[in-house]
């Protein structure tokens, strides 16, 4: 099976070192599969179900969740923890939780970069725009993450009943890019380029 390893994030042909399948009393099927990555040798477990008379092919759980990895060393710990939780939620299909944690990470960035912690997130982002702490593109990304994050934490306020997988994936991807530009690139420049 070709799949994305949740540990090294490479798309590779995964081997199956172990599996078990069974039929429940109501006729539904279930299976537990172990997959091994040929690149990093890490193992993941997947749990599948199927309707009566059909093979178990519908994924209901995986450990470790896809995309779980540590944050970059330059990302401050509270923000890194929120970023990791956003990725974990995304990996297990908790779309509202993923966008809510991404929003929380953005607020952490704003506070860490000097925005007034007592203000609402919209105003904190605007504060960083006015002070030119964030590039205008990053301000736009932060506002989009904030808007979708509101859907995860404030039900019904904006007319959206749910968050789609596509929206959650995009929001977490925007967060990745925001943290890359704000923390990772400056750290990499400082550690790889010799002083002038």
Question: The domain spanning residue 107 has which CATH number?
Answer: 1.20.120
Q: Are residues 8 and 49 in the same domain?
A: yes
What mean pLDDT is predicted for residues 152-168?
A: 70
Which residue among 26, 41, 63 closes a domain? Answer: 63
Q: Are residues 100 and 187 in the same domain?
A: yes
Q: Are residues 115 and 183 in the same domain?
A: yes
Q: What are the b/e assignments for 116-141, b being 16+ CB within 10 Å?
A: eeeeebeebbbbbbeeebbeeebbeb
Phi-psi region of 169 (alpha: psi -120 to 50; beta: other; left: phi over 0): alpha
Lowest mean per-residue pLDDT among 13-22, 152-161, 181-190? 152-161
Position 161 scores a pLDDT of: 61
What mean pLDDT is predicted for residues 47-61?
A: 84
Q: Are residues 34 and 108 in the same domain?
A: no
Cα dist from 144 to 11, 44, 80, 180, whole Å: 29, 33, 19, 17
Position 74 scores a pLDDT of: 95
Position 180 scores a pLDDT of: 94
Q: Is the pLDDT of residue 59 over 60?
A: yes
Q: Report the C-alpha gap between 51 and 30 in whole angstroms.
A: 9
What backbone torsions phi and psi does residue 104 show, to the nearest 5 degrees? Answer: -60, -40
Cα dist from 150 to 97, 119, 154, whole Å: 11, 15, 5
List, edge to edge, every strand of the sheet that includes 43-50. 15-23, 29-36, 43-50, 58-63
What backbone torsions phi and psi does residue 40 show, to the nearest 5 degrees? Answer: -110, -5
DSSP code at position 60: E
120 falls within a domain:
yes
Q: Report the C-alpha gap between 89 and 59 in whole angstroms.
A: 15
69 falls within a domain:
no
The residue segments making up the domain with residue 13 are 2-63
70 falls within a domain:
no
How many domains does one find in the chain? 2
Q: Is the pLDDT of residue 112 over 90?
A: yes
């Amino acid at each position: 099976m070709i799949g994305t390893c949740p540990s090294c994030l490479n798309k590779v042909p995964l081997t199956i070192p172990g599996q078990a399948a069974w039929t429940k009393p109501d006729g539904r099927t279930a299976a537990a599969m172990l997959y091994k990555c040929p690149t990093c040798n890490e193992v993941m477990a997947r749990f599948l179900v199927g309707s009566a008379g059909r093979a178990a092919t519908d994924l209901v759980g995986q450990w470790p969740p896809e995309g779980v990895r540590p944050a970059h060393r330059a990302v401050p710990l509270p923000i890194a923890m929120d970023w990791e939780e956003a990725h974990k939620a995304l990996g297990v299909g908790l779309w509202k939780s993923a966008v809510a944690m991404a929003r929380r990470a953005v607020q952490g960035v704003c506070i860490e970069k000097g925005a007034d912690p007592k203000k609402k997130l919209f105003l904190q982002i605007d504060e960083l725009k006015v002070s030119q702490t964030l590039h205008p593109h990053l301000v736009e990304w932060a506002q989009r993450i904030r808007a979708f994050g509101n859907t995860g934490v404030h039900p019904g306020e904006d007319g959206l009943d749910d968050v789609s997988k596509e929206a959650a994936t995009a929001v977490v991807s925007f967060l990745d890019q925001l943290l890359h530009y704000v923390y990772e690139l400056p750290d990499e420049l400082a550690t790889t380029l010799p002083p002038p």
